[in-house]
Amino acid sequence: MFQRHPIQNQHLMLITTCTKDRRQIFADAACAREAIESLYRVQYWNPFFLFGFVIMPDHGHFLLNVPEHGSISRVMQAYKRSVSFEIGKAVWQSRFHMEIVQSCRRVLNYIHLNPVRQNLCLEAAAYPWSSASGRWDVCELPMMQEGRIDEYW
């Protein structure tokens, strides 16, 4: 089922999605790695720009932009389906939360400090399931103007 989001393109979005019943599925390192690898596989078939992310034990945060003619609902549906298929069980709640980002750096900081706030690590770079670790490819933050990406593409 698709969620309807009236604004889908040309905006930087913070996406949050939770596991079903907030189960700690991604406390398992193999599952957390699969959640990230699925993100990149989905990106190949449903292109989007990924600027940062974190996979927490029971949820994920993603800072991204879907180019024109794309759909955040399709991206998230494909992502959730891929993770569930690869792990071998239903993982996610059916919905996700989306908000338009006004401050890239503030939101990326929020995403990266999530494991620190949850006492999973002492510093953001030490958490392996985050773009803060430097282990994963992400785009550089774009220039923004009034909540819209300014001539990034």
CATH of the domain at 60: 3.30.70.1290
Query: Does 113 fall in a domain?
Result: no
pLDDT tens string 2-30: 445 555 666 899 999 999 999 999 999 99
* Domain-located, residue 111: no
pLDDT at 141 over 60: yes
80 within a domain of the structure (yes/no): yes
Say if residues 59 and 70 touch (Cβ distance below 8 Å): no
Domain-located, residue 46: yes
Residue with the bigger pLDDT between 38 and 104: it is 38
> How many independent structural domains does the chain possess?
1
Structure tokens at 58: 């029971």
Residue 66: which domain range?
Answer: 13-103
Q: Coil, helix or strand for 98? A: strand
User: Would you list the DSSP string of 44-59?
Assistant: HHS--EEEEEEE-SSE
Q: Residue 150 falls within a domain, yes or no?
A: no
53 in a structural domain: yes
Query: Distances from the Cα of 147 to the Cαs of 15, 18, 122, 137, 150, in angstroms?
Result: 15, 25, 31, 24, 9
Q: What is the pLDDT of residues 84-139, one digit of tens each?
A: 999 999 999 999 999 998 888 999 999 999 999 999 999 999 999 999 999 999 98
Q: Determine the pLDDT at residue 11.
A: 82
